[in-house]
Amino acid sequence: MSAPFLPIHGIEVDPNLCGFIDQEVLPGTGVTSDQFWVGFDQIVAEFAPQNAALLAERDRLQAEIDQWHRAQPGPIRDPKAYRKFLTDIGYLIADPGRVQASTANVDDELAVQAGPQLVVPILNARYTLNAANARWGSLYDALYGTDAIAESDGCEKSERYNPKRGARVMAFARDFLDQAAPLASGSHKDAVGYAIEAGQLVVSLLGGKSVGLQNPDQLIGYQGLIPEPHAVLLKHNGLHFEIVIDHQSPIGSVDPAGVADVILEAALSTILDLEDSVAVVDTEDKLLGYRNFLGVIKGSLTERVPKNGKTIVRGLNPDRPYSKPTGGELTLPGRSLLFIRNMGLLTSHPAVRYRAPNGQCADIPEGILDAVVTVAIGIHDLKAAGRLPSGDAIRNSRSGSIYVVKPKLHGPKEVAFSAALFAKIESVLGLPNNTVKLGVMDEERRTSVNLKACIVAAESRIAFINTGFLDRTGDEIHTSMLAGPMIRKANMKASKWIAAYERSNVLVGLACGLRGKAQIGKGMWAMPDRMAAMLEQKLVHPKAGANTAWVPSPTAATLHALHYHQVSVSSIQKEMESIDMAKESEDLLGSLLAVPVAENTNWSAAEKQQELDNNIQGILGYVVRWIDQGVGCSKVPDINDVGLMEDRATLRISSQHVANWLVHGIVSEADVKASFERMAAVVDAQNGADPFYTPMLPNLSGSKAFQAACDLVFKGTEQPSGYTEPLLNLWRLAKKKQAS
């Protein structure tokens, strides 16, 4: 039996959370227990009712839109009338005119540099450490271990090292060096030695010639001794990379110049996620996430990992020391700059209870709980208290900021609410104004069409805006659920609204002065095993003017970093700033409001079945791990056994899409139930090798995961904004209760 809640001022607190705050978080922050809890009580009293009012506004707007589509079903035939309707109900607001963000004290990783970003479930300590340490990655390992190097012509991967594959890797790396750090003449392919002379890099080539860099200023530092360093640090397009020289290593011993690896600066930033990629339903889950965040910030987080028959202790990487070529020392961060992603406005959490305006005892809005606790944890970094077990000091933000991502905000009022919440938290905890910087996810339709006003609402805090295609698609479907049957899911990426959405995000961000102050980001590459395809396709993100984009793994971050050497994002952003936004904004808004209802629904029976099975298989494959194992993000095989990174955003699309086709009679309830039963067998088979997996068959009615998946579809239209959290949390709690 759990201990009774502790009454603290006007709130009631789970004693486990109270102990964590008082004994683990507050010591060393300068914030007393009484200061924290008095302030927390004030925050809840002020902001919980506002949170509820904003959710009620979502419901009001959705009811108005539903009524409009009932009266005028099908694609939007009169865009002017539709826009007037959205304006009249308060969904679409007036353009605020010229906007210039005033965010200050933003670290270079967000404001100046352009490079990959990771998103990682913070409940998993191993993944968290791997992501934080992915600031630097081995290009040789990333190439050798993935399909970035084709397994053909004798270049297959095997248990033993394949020299021919290794040679292909080395050739690829030399091509990269020629592109990113060209020599004054000749090629890195012909290098037989690297030295530093008179503060410059000198490369000895076959035939006896010695040359320098085409741009000598690219040499930033070195490790080892002059004239024979064991590492050479170069810089291109704002990103560092290191040529590792070790004539004694297995790789370096067969390289004429002794090059053993090329290390790339890769994941400049990482989002530690308390939202879409985790399953958090009670105090136990929440404290695991908070403790991992505290451990990362303080430098104490470690994880015991089995490797080659032994157990190693993995922790955070130290910073990287170099000597400057002209004298003096240089230290570069050894870890990604970390955001913490809080929950949005929708969910509540049972760790804290308060007295709601109606007099009833209610669970605290989860986003408020996250905001208060994670900012308090961030104070340790502001005080430079982080220490690795070795004693080395570490910092997350060198500019004195705490970075919080706020997801699933619907429009400028909700952004303003978030900004005001963090201002209040700063006041309570004694922090300077605007210490907390916000990353605003542009993943809800009402935010997309009012993005400039959203930036105004947080103009002194905005640290990134990032497109979230998956959630944005889920919201697109739910918002216009009654307009008609949506186009097939695979066709969404080619739809009119999505092209406008991706372009508008960058153009609006630049028009609001985010260049040099904040990140403008793009979404995830979902196939972690298909790195060759990523190398071919993900170049579009920096070319679009985005100075970051999400990747699914540290290896993917290393490979995606190559794209930022191929493209100067800052140059592209400068060019895009000259675009006449007044002329383009009208067209973009019109396209953003184009609802993706199918003009023609004469799909064949086979096409309908394919769409249905694909959606249902994806729903089951994800939900079964969420409910039974508490896994919020993992590589889930799709219906064709291709591993895809899945989280709640992908689930939102699939469940809403099936619900939409049900509403409009494209498929029947019997069709959906039959697909669920067939796909349960498929998902059971795909997970057959997992010793922790609980099969759904033969007792589907006894499988809480199966029941949860069905609910997400059959109750999909009534879920707020089509979100999956309420049903997932309900069924996960039931599963945990059953297991206890």
Strand 348-355 relative to strand 11-13, pairing: antiparallel
Judge whether 341 counts as a catalytic residue. Answer: yes
Q: Which amino acid is at 164?
A: K
CA distance 613 to 511: 43
Please say whether the beta carbons of 489 and 653 come within 8 A. Answer: yes
Q: What integer is the mean pLDDT of 35-44?
A: 98
Residue 701 has what DSSP assignment? Answer: G
What share of the chain in percent tops pLDDT 70?
100
Close Cβ partners of 308 (under 8 Å, ≥ 6 residues apart): none
545 CB-contact burial (10 Å; exposed 0-12 / middle 13-18 / buried 19+)? buried
pLDDT 10s digits, 664-679: 999 999 999 999 999 9
CA distance 116 to 436: 22
CA distance 599 to 76: 11
Which pLDDT value is given to residue 2?
Answer: 63
DSSP collapsed to 3 states, 36-97: HHHHHHHHHHHHHHHHHHHHHHHHHHHHHHHHHHHHCCCCCCCHHHHHHHHHHCCCCCCCCC
| CA 505 from centre of chain | 16
User: Above 60 in pLDDT, residue 287?
Assistant: yes
Helix (H) or strand (E) holding 180: helix 163-180
Tokens matching residue 82 = 């539709």
Whole-number Cα distances in Å, 204 to 98, 179, 221, 260, 277: 54, 18, 19, 17, 49
pLDDT bucket at 357, cuts 50 / 70 / 90: confident
Query: Percent helix, strand and coil across the chain, each rounded to 5?
Result: 45, 20, 35
User: Above 90 in pLDDT, residue 359?
Assistant: no
- Among the ranges given (57-61, 310-314, 405-409, 714-718), the one the predictor scored with the smallest mean pLDDT: 310-314
Crossing angle of helices 469-479/648-663, nearest 10°? 20
Please report the DSSP string for 299-334 in residue order.
Answer: T---EEEEETTEEEEE-PPPPEEEE-TTSSEEEE-S
Strands (E), 462-610: 462-467, 519-522, 548-551
DSSP collapsed to 3 states, 433-449: CCCEEEEEEECCHHHHC
Q: Give the count of alpha carbons within 13 A of 552, CB side only.
A: 19
| CA 462 from centre of chain | 16
The alpha carbon torsion through 377, 382, 384, 385 (nearest 10 deg) reads -20
Kindly report the backbone phi and psi dihedral angles of residue 664, in degrees, each rounded to the nearest multiple of 5, phi listed first: -100, 10
Which listed residue (647, 671, 684, 711) is catalytic?
647
Whole-number Cα distances in Å, 459 to 174, 340, 431, 440, 517: 44, 19, 18, 11, 11
- Kindly report each contact of residues 711-717 with a partner whose C-beta sits within 8 Å and lies 24 or more positions away, as own/partner: 712/619, 712/623, 712/651, 712/655, 713/616, 713/619, 713/655, 713/658, 713/659, 713/662, 713/672, 714/659, 714/662, 714/669, 714/672, 716/655, 716/656, 716/658, 716/659, 716/662, 717/478, 717/481, 717/659, 717/663
Please say whether the beta carbons of 624 and 705 come within 8 A. Answer: yes
Which pLDDT value is given to residue 464?
Answer: 96
CA distance 350 to 371: 15
CA distance 696 to 318: 45
Close Cβ partners of 253 (under 8 Å, ≥ 6 residues apart): 247
Integer-rounded Cα Rg, in Å, for the chain is: 26
pLDDT bucket at 549, cuts 50 / 70 / 90: very high
β-sheet with 191-197: strand ranges across: 191-197, 200-205, 210-211
Which listed residue (58, 168, 174, 341) is catalytic?
341
Judge whether 711 counts as a catalytic residue. Answer: no
User: Above 90 in pLDDT, residue 305?
Assistant: no
Which pLDDT value is given to residue 649?
Answer: 94
Please say whether the beta carbons of 556 and 528 come within 8 A. Answer: yes
Mean residue pLDDT across the chain: 96
Close Cβ partners of 124 (under 8 Å, ≥ 6 residues apart): none
Strands (E), 468-576: 519-522, 548-551
User: Above 80 in pLDDT, residue 3?
Assistant: no
pLDDT 10s digits, 460-486: 999 999 998 899 999 999 999 999 999
Domains located in the chain, CATH noted: 53-114+269-522+568-592 (3.20.20.360), 137-265 (2.170.170.11), 605-739 (1.20.1220.12)
Please say whether the beta carbons of 122 and 293 come within 8 A. Answer: yes
pLDDT 10s digits, 395-421: 999 999 999 999 999 999 999 999 999
pLDDT bucket at 634, cuts 50 / 70 / 90: confident
Tokens matching residue 671 = 């069709």
Which pLDDT value is given to residue 582?
Answer: 82
Kindly report the backbone phi and psi dihedral angles of residue 567, in degrees, each rounded to the nearest multiple of 5, phi listed first: -125, 130
pLDDT 10s digits, 209-266: 999 999 999 999 999 998 899 999 999 999 999 999 999 999 999 999 999 999 999 9
Q: Which amino acid is at 22?
A: D
Please say whether the beta carbons of 220 and 235 come within 8 A. Answer: yes
User: Above 60 in pLDDT, residue 1?
Assistant: no
What share of the chain in percent tops pLDDT 90?
95
